[in-house]
Structures are given as C-alpha cells and as structure tokens.
Structure 1
Amino acid sequence: MDELADRFFAAVSAGDVATLTELYAPDARIWHNDDNAEQTVAENLRVLRWLSRTVEDLRYEDIRRHPLPDGFAQQHVLRGRLAGHGALEVPACLFVRVREGRIVRIEEYVDSAATSALRAVAGGRGR
C-alpha cells in the first residue's frame, strides 16, 4: 500500500496524468468535504493537472500514513508557492480505498480557508 501511495502523491506533484490514470480504477470517485461533491476520474485529473501547473514547488510534507483494511489514510500538508499569493499550506487528510491494486475512492478533508488562494487563482471556478 505504501508503494501505491508514494506513486500516487509523486504523480500528483509531477502532474503525471498517465501514472494517475493507471492508479485509479476507471469508475473511481473522489469526494471533497469543502464542496460535498464527488468527482469522476476525468474531472479529478483536470484539477490535479491544473494544480501541478499552477503551484510552484508542489510537495507533500509532514506525512502521516495509516494502513486500513481496504486502503490507507494519510494526513499531510500540501505546500508550494502560488504566484501572486506567496506560500501555500493546505493541511489535509485523505481516506483512500483500494481494490485490486487500484484506487476506487478518495475522501479528502481540507480546511476551506487554506484553499481560498487556490480558488481565487482558479477564478472562482472551484474544483
């Protein structure tokens, strides 16, 4: 599970859509607490691609990962620099369910105040 998690977060940081597509099950769903909405894989990949292009020096730090019977939970701080806004720090927690070696569901919890600069840069489009 650690290898899958490491590959996933490295691919997000690098904007590696090919690896992310390989790691997601085709029917995976990604839910976010700040908008209470689910994304399809295609929708999530668009956001992750945008994130990797928009945030300079995008990285995950202060990682605490916990195994679960069907996946893992990870707490971390997403850090980087956002043009016109300076340093970005987004504490987050993800619950990731895995089946047959692929991610089938992510439930992501973030503090919406910490993502306000991202929403501003996105022009209010949200996720």
Structure 2
Amino acid sequence: MASKEPDPTNFSVVNTLLTAIEKGDLDQVRRCFAPSALTWHNFDEIEQDVHAMAAMLGHLCAHSTSRSYEDRRITTVGSQAFLQYTLTAALHSGDHFRMPAMMRLEIDSDGLVARIEEYFDSRVLDSLA
C-alpha cells in the first residue's frame, strides 16, 4: 500500500493552529496535530507529546487575556513550514508578554502537524511564573 505524500501547497493547518492559540481554543489546537505528534524546544531539548504541549499553552492562556502572533513570516519547503514571529500577550497582571521566536513545523500526509521544533529565549517565560 502506497503512503500518501504530503501536499506541499496546503499549509492551512498552520494558520488554523496560530488562530486557535490566539483565541485560547485548546481543543482546536489539539485537532491541528497528528496523534503521535511531538514538540521540541531548544531550551530544554525535551520532546513533548500533544497533551504536554497543550498544557504548556493552557498555562499561557490561563495567565493572559489575549494573545497575538505578530510579524509573521512563513516560508514553506516541501512538507515543512518555517515561521518567524513575535508572540505577544496581555497578562491578567497588567503586564505584557513578548516572545520573539522561530519554529519549524512538519506537516503529515493528512495535513496535520506531525512535529514542531521551536526556538526562543526561555527567560521570557519568567514573566508567566
């Protein structure tokens, strides 16, 4: 049985994912991922499953009233999307969260995120502690 090749032109899941995070819709976030998807961050070099990744995003959503992916730059190559952006959030404390970052997403043959590798300075997370 031949496996389906990813459609290198369909990256709609990327915008769906970012919009879901901005809205704080963690159920929609989870639906963007393949069941076996993994997320990796440069600061700890640990792979997280979808459940752990959603919990981390849930922490951001619980501490903020709004989130926005600003200055988005997306480049696609084959079944991969490379994003450069600044994630900002208005925190319940009245402070503002700002995280310049970069990530690489692998999209599987079903159009779902199979893997994310995200790069950012982990010191920005201190404002969420």
- On whether the aligned pair clears a TM of 0.5, the verdict is yes
Highest RCO, 1 vs 2 (Cα 8 Å, sep ≥ 6): 2
| 1:99 has 2:108 as partner | yes
Q: Which residue of 2 aligns with 1:8?
A: 17
TM-score, with structure 2 as normaliser: 0.84
Q: How far off its partner does 1:53 sit?
A: 2.2
Query: Structure 1 stretches of 5 or more lacking a match?
Result: 121-127
| Deviation of the 1:63 alpha carbon | 0.5
1:109 and 2:119 matched = yes
Q: Following the alignment from structure 2 to structure 1, what is the Cα–Cα distance between the partners of residues 98 and 30?
A: 26
Q: Is the 8 A contact 2:66 2:91 kept in 1?
A: no
- For structure 2, the 5+ residue unaligned runs are 1-9
Runs in 1 of length 4+ with deviation above 4 angstroms? none
Provide the C-alpha distance between the structure 2 equivalents of 1:14 and 1:49, rounded to a whole number of angstroms: 11
TM-score, scaled to structure 1: 0.86
Q: Deviations over 1:45-84 (max 9, x none)?
A: 1111221221222111011111121120100001112234
Query: Deviation per CA, 1:74-120, whole angstroms, max 9, x where unpaired?
Result: 000011122347111100101000112010000000112222212x2
Q: Which residue of 2 aligns with 1:33?
A: 42
Give the SS at the match of 2:60: helix
**Equivalent AA in structure 2 for residue 32 of structure 1:** H
Contact 1:94 1:109 in 2 (8 A): yes
Paired positions, count = 119
